[in-house]
Structure 1
Amino acid sequence: MGVAYSVGEVDHLYTFFVQWSPDMCTNSNNKKNSKPHFQNLCHGGKKNKGPSSKQLSNPAATNWDIITGKDPKRRLSLCSSDSETEEPEYQEEVKNVLPVLSDYSELLDDRHLLSLASHMPERTQGYRWQLVYSTAVHGSSLKTLYRNMAGLDSPVLLVVKDMQKKVFGAFSSDPFRVSKYCYGTGETFLFTFNPDFQAYKWTGENSYFVSGNLESLHLGGGGGEFGLWIDADLYRGSSFSCPTFHNAPLSTQKDFIIQDLEVWTVQN
């Protein structure tokens, strides 16, 4: 590892090497046993106390690296501990990864967004997320939710908070709409923060990704159970394990009451 010295200290070291390594600094034509002429440049002609014989006999003691005064900051950055250098870089990395929301979210904070970002498809990266529907803004109506998504052709993020303060939901490859048949792709997944983040991806067993009518919205299915079911008033919901995602129930209770609900879409 290098040691940083000022310009004055470099001159001092040069004198030191002249005194203790004369063969490196004197004319090669001098006789082997002749005494070199020493000149002390830093202490008015007084001799400096040199290294001990133990230090001179240790080859490692002579492996010095002299750098100029311009280098210490560079060396410091290379030799600093991880705790000093990684934290700012980590914070910048987190800032670059987090999805940008166009509006304030009542349900999502940076911790939620960071967990979700790594599971969203690449086609959503780098775009702003726009609030399409919120019970706090638009009331509690599945019809209004469908109406706000009319004409959209982009993935959506459904976020639910129940009366037990649990946050969970689904990422859908397609906006929600009334449909006789199931729609969506394998990009669709369920997620929960109950208590830690868990994402449930498509298992490939069926293609019951999303379906909806005027009475309810469903995500995942098979065997008569839905991964996530929400009623027309956006008031009651349920979550069961289903073959589409092999998910655990997203809330602490399979049947729950909705406190707040938001839907976000990619703004491109």
Structure 2
Amino acid sequence: MRKQQSVQILYFANGSDGPFVEIVSVKQQKRRTSVCSSADSESDDLLPVLINHSQILKELHLEQLMSHIPARAQGNQWKLVYSTAVHGTSLRTLYRQMAELDRPVLMVIRDTDGQVFGAFSSDPFRVSSYCYGTGETFLYSFSPEFQVFRWTGENSYFVRGFLDSLQMGGGGGPFGLWLDADLYRGSSYSCNTFCNRPLSLHHDFTVQELEVWSFV
């Protein structure tokens, strides 16, 4: 049987003549550090610090997403920029919440089937007359197991924002991820940009919760 590693932690309590010792497992200590994280921590296997509460993201989601976030966003705290639970269901509001951002964002969706999926965008979402983004952009899904779909290099149809829809991925057919103006209806099909499978259980889905996180 593999012996569990442990560490000793010394504490100095007020009014005490000396330190007292607590023995915890290495795994417990990592988890503590991830929750109370200091800016000096550089361990890749620590969970990110979420400044705000997430209605969707669980520890397992964070653990699996972390290794795929580009290096320039690694080690940053995650800040909730937009949430349907907080800001209502409006694509216009989503754009407005990101008007001052100049950094990547992570979109997380939970649909009415309970499936979690979304996209990492190298650029904040905005209305544009052309496609924008870089090869850092990717789609992902936890439905039914975690998969990441990265840029194939075939085209550069990363993101395009309209007032009535948000589109990600494309090329001669449906979009990798599409959302309507009310952030209520969506669809996901295989596309040339990411060569992804549908992110949800069904091509067409209904959004239950949607969040967008930035890295600060």
* Alignment TM-score, normalising by the size of structure 2: 0.83
2:198 paired residue among 249, 263, 266: 249
Q: Tell me which residue corresponds to 1:104.
A: 53
In the alignment, which residue of structure 2 is the partner of 1:180? Answer: 129
* 2:26 alignment counterpart: 89
Distance 2:29 2:123 in 1: 31
1:52-98 Cα deviation digits (max 9, x unpaired): xxxxxxxxxxxxxxxxxxxxxxxxxxxxx634128933455564521
Report the CA distance shift for 1:92/1:208 in structure 2 as closer, same or farther (over 3 A): farther
Output the CA distance in 1 between the equivalents of 2:87 and 2:78: 18
Deviations 1:226-245 (Å, cap 9, x if unpaired)? 00000000000000000111
The alignment-based identity, stated in percent, is: 61
Q: Which amino acid aligns with 1:127?
A: N
Return the letter of the residue paired with 2:209: D
CA shift, 1:201, in A, is 0.8
Return the letter of the residue paired with 1:185: T
The two structures have a TM-score, normalised by structure 1, of 0.67
Q: CA deviation at 1:136?
A: 0.4
Equivalent-residue separation in structure 1 for 2:166 and 2:211 (angstroms): 14
Pick one of 152, 159, 166 that aligns with 1:210.
159
Q: Secondary structure at the match of 2:170?
A: coil
Paired residues in the alignment total 187
Provide, for residues 189-239 of structure 1, a one-character-per-residue CA deviation record: whole Å limited to 9, x for no partner. 000011111111111111111101101001111112100000000000000
Letter in 2 for 1:88: S
Aligned Cα root-mean-square deviation (Å)? 1.5
- Work out the CA distance in 1 between the residues paired with 2:72 and 2:65: 14
Q: Answer with 246-255 or 86-95: which moved more.
A: 86-95
**Gapped regions of structure 2 (runs ≥ 5):** 7-23, 35-42
1:117 corresponds to 2:37: no
Q: Take 1:239 and 1:85, find their aligned partners in 2: how far apart are those partners?
A: 44
Q: What residue in structure 2 maps to residue 126 of structure 1?
A: 75
CA distance in 1, matches of 2:102, 2:66: 20
Corresponding residue to 1:194 among 134, 138, 143: 143
The counterpart of 1:230, out of the listed 166, 179, 182, is 179
Q: Which amino acid aligns with 2:2?
A: D
CA distance in 2, matches of 1:222, 1:88: 50
Bigger radius of gyration = 1
Kindly indicate which of the two structures has a greater share of residues assigned to helix. Answer: 1
SS at match of 2:86: helix
**Structure 2 matches for 1:32-181, cutoff 5 A?**
82-85=2-5, 88-93=25-30, 95=34, 96=43, 97-181=46-130
Describe the SS at the equivalent of 1:263. strand
Instruction: Tell me the distance in 2 between the aligned counterparts of 1:90 and 1:210.
Output: 39
Runs (4+) off by over 6 Å: none
The structure, 1 or 2, with the larger RCO (C-alpha pairs under 8 Å, 6+ apart) is 2
Code of the residue aligned with 1:170 in structure 2: it is A
Q: Which residue identity is paired with 1:136?
A: A
**3-state SS, counterpart of residue 178 of structure 2:** strand
In structure 1, list runs of 5 or more residues that go unmatched. 1-80
